[in-house]
């Protein structure tokens, strides 16, 4: 996980910065995010069906890491020979979106099989702590390598980190599960479609999982687009470079790391309320960061506080879904839950279009206020979510 998250956080800095550098357009930055989101959204339930039907989840994840490494290596080579174009960057975004959609549900579904159920909240929060430690280190490292050695070397490092992530999975125990025996291709296709349909029915009719997934989707669409558009904002509004963007993301990682460690030690009480309030706090800090910041240092202060709310939102939404889902549907439910990353990229596309028309401050500020309104609205008017333990 550390290897994968380090690479993903470096890409947060480099890919959006490259897209804006190549085009000078917020709409182009949003289009890159959309290119990764579309296959992720289209194939998410397929990834969930794989997670619930394939006995060897670990093998699925390892194959995905090799694909990601090859993709990053290709971008690095194109940068090294000065042949990268916006169109080629778009193609690599599609490849990664496809890989992540098919791999991530299996990765999420493995965690509950590795720890006792009464330690699941702690395990999920500690897993988030590891992710946030990479948010602390990787963006700044990627930004400094970009400025010092060039973007190609960031992608070469990313490729190595993806391979590192696949290699270390060897030490993770595989939990074999009974699956249906292989039949005809047509029979397997029908079984997979039935598997997907059953998963959707379960989510729609579950009194807890349905509303929880629904509010999480809406929250993520407004909470995450800033990560994809920050590169353009830093260049255009703050007149700074990729190293400044990396520092901002790393500082938000400090807040997220502290927040996730706090969550790891919480008692399993009122977690629904804390999830919603943490989401609202994240939105408020994002609004201040994008609406009134005039320097990197000023923005860094708001990003530090924003990270606390982001950690509460991410950790608690994950642990609530993992705690309440039935194990037979876990892979398919987590595939829909993991849609949040792709939906955030869809949100980035829409916010990018808005930024191109109305300016980045208005677009990102309005999106942040929408997050506050959604979270507080759910807190006040959806007691089923507010009262979850």
CATH number of the structural domain spanning residue 354: 1.20.1250.20
Q: What is the pLDDT of residue 11?
A: 83
SS3 59: helix
**Range of 16-20, 28-32, 82-86 with top mean pLDDT:** 82-86
Angle between helices 339-358 and 209-223 (to 10 degrees): 40
pLDDT band (50, 70, 90) for residue 186: low
| Residue with tokens 């490292």, as numbered in its chain | 141
Give the N- to C-terminal CA distance of the chain in Å, as an integer: 27
What's the predicted TM-score (pTM) here?
0.68
Do 142 and 14 touch, CB atoms closer than 8 A?
A: yes
Please enumerate in sequence order all residues whose Cβ is within 8 A of that of 31, keeping only pairs 6 or more positions apart, or say none: 19, 90, 349, 352
pLDDT at 375: 92
Q: What is the mean pLDDT of the chain?
A: 82
Mean pLDDT in residue range 49-77: 81
pLDDT of residue 143: 80
Question: Is residue 181's pLDDT more than 60?
Answer: no
Task: State the pLDDT at residue 171.
Answer: 82
> How high is the pLDDT of residue 180?
46
User: Do residues 364 and 290 make contact, with C-beta atoms less than 8 angstroms apart?
Assistant: yes
214 confidence band (pLDDT: 50, 70, 90):
confident
Residue 266's domain comprises 2-386
Answer yes or no: are the C-beta atoms of 174 and 58 closer than 8 Å.
yes
Task: List, in order, residues 6 or more apart from 286 with CB less than 8 Å away.
Answer: 223, 226, 302, 306, 364, 367, 368, 371
pLDDT at residue 220 is higher than 90? no
Inform me whether the pLDDT recorded for 156 exceeds 90. Answer: yes
- Is it the case that residue 237 has pLDDT exceeding 70? yes
| pLDDT band, residue 165 (cuts 50/70/90) | confident
pLDDT value of residue 54: 61
> What's residue 53's pLDDT?
63
CA 20-21-26 angle, to 5 degrees, is 15
Between helix 360-381 and helix 209-223 the angle, nearest 10°, is 160
Q: Is residue 92 within 8 Å of 76, Cβ to Cβ?
A: no
pLDDT digits (tens, 9 = 90+) for 323-374: 888 877 777 787 777 777 777 777 888 888 888 888 889 999 999 999 999 9
Question: CA nearest 325: which of 131, 124, 190?
Answer: 124
Share of the chain above pLDDT 90, in %: 19
Q: What is the pLDDT of residue 88?
A: 92
For residue 73, the model assigns a pLDDT of 94
Please report the pLDDT score of residue 55 as a whole number. 56
pLDDT at 253 > cutoff 70: yes
The mean per-residue pLDDT over the stretch 54-65 comes to 74
Q: What are phi and psi of 118, to 5 degrees?
A: -75, -10
Q: What's the confidence (pLDDT) of residue 206?
A: 85
Separation of alpha carbons 315 and 321, rounded Å: 10
Whether 222 and 280 have beta carbons less than 8 Å apart is answered as: no
Q: Answer yes or no: are the C-beta atoms of 10 and 141 closer than 8 Å.
A: yes
Segment 190-218 shows an average pLDDT of 81
| Rounded Cα gap, residues 163 and 135, in angstroms | 19
Q: Which of 44-48, 50-54, 247-251 has the highest mean pLDDT?
A: 247-251
Note the pLDDT of residue 177.
Answer: 55
Per-residue pLDDT, 56: 59
pLDDT for the residue numbered 182: 47
More confident residue, 339 or 86: 86
How do residues 94-137 score in pLDDT, each as one tens digit? 998 888 878 877 777 777 778 887 777 777 777 777 776 787 78
d(CA 234, CA 226): 11
Number of domains in the chain: 1
Sequential DSSP letters for 324-342: HS-GGGHHHHHHHHTHHHH
Cα 214 from Cα 216, distance rounded (Å): 5
Least confident of 76-90, 197-211, 326-340: 326-340
Residue 23, phi-psi category: left (phi > 0), alpha (psi -120 to 50), beta (remainder):
alpha
- Range ranked top by mean pLDDT from 170-174, 216-220, 246-250, 290-294: 290-294
- pLDDT level of residue 176 (50, 70, 90 thresholds): low
């Amino acid at each position: 996980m550390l290897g994968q998250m380090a690479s993903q956080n470096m890409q947060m800095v480099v890919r959006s910065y490259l897209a804006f550098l190549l085009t000078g357009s917020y709409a182009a930055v949003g289009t890159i995010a959309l290119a990764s989101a579309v296959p992720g959204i289209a194939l998410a339930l397929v990834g969930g069906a794989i997670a619930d039907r394939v006995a060897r989840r670990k093998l699925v994840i390892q194959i995905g890491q090799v694909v990601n490494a090859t993709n990053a290596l290709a971008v690095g080579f194109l940068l090294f020979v000065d042949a990268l174009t916006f169109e080629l960057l778009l193609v690599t975004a599609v490849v990664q979106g496809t890989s992540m959609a098919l791999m991530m549900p299996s990765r999420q579904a493995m965690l509950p099989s590795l720890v006792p159920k009464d330690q699941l909240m702690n395990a999920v929060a500690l897993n988030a702590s590891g992710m946030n430690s990479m948010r602390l280190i990787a963006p700044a490292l990627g930004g400094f390598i970009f400025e010092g050695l060039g973007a190609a070397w960031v992608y070469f490092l990313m490729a190595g980190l993806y391979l590192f992530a696949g290699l270390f999975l060897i030490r993770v125990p595989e939990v074999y599960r009974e699956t249906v025996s292989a039949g005809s291709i047509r029979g397997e296709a029908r079984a997979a479609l039935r598997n997907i349909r059953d998963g959707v029915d379960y989510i729609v009719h579950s009194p807890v999982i349905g509303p929880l997934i629904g509010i999480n989707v809406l929250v993520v669409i407004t909470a995450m687009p800033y990560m994809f558009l920050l590169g353009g904002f830093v260049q255009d509004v703050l007149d700074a470079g990729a190293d400044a963007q990396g520092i901002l993301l790393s500082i938000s990682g400090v807040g997220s790391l502290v927040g996730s460690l706090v969550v790891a030690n919480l008692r399993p009480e009122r977690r629904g309320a804390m999830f919603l309030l943490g989401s609202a706090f994240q939105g408020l800090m994002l609004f201040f960061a994008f609406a009134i910041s005039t320097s990197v240092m000023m923005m860094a202060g708001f990003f530090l506080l924003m990270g606390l709310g982001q950690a509460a939102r991410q950790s608690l939404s994950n642990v609530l879904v993992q705690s309440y889902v039935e194990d037979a549907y876990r892979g398919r439910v987590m595939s829909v839950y993991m849609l949040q990353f792709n939906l955030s990229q869809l949100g980035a596309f829409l916010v990018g279009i808005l930024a191109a028309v109305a300016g980045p401050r208005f677009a990102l500020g309005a999106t942040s206020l929408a997050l506050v309104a959604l979270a507080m609205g759910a807190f006040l008017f959806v007691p089923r979510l507010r009262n979850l333990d």
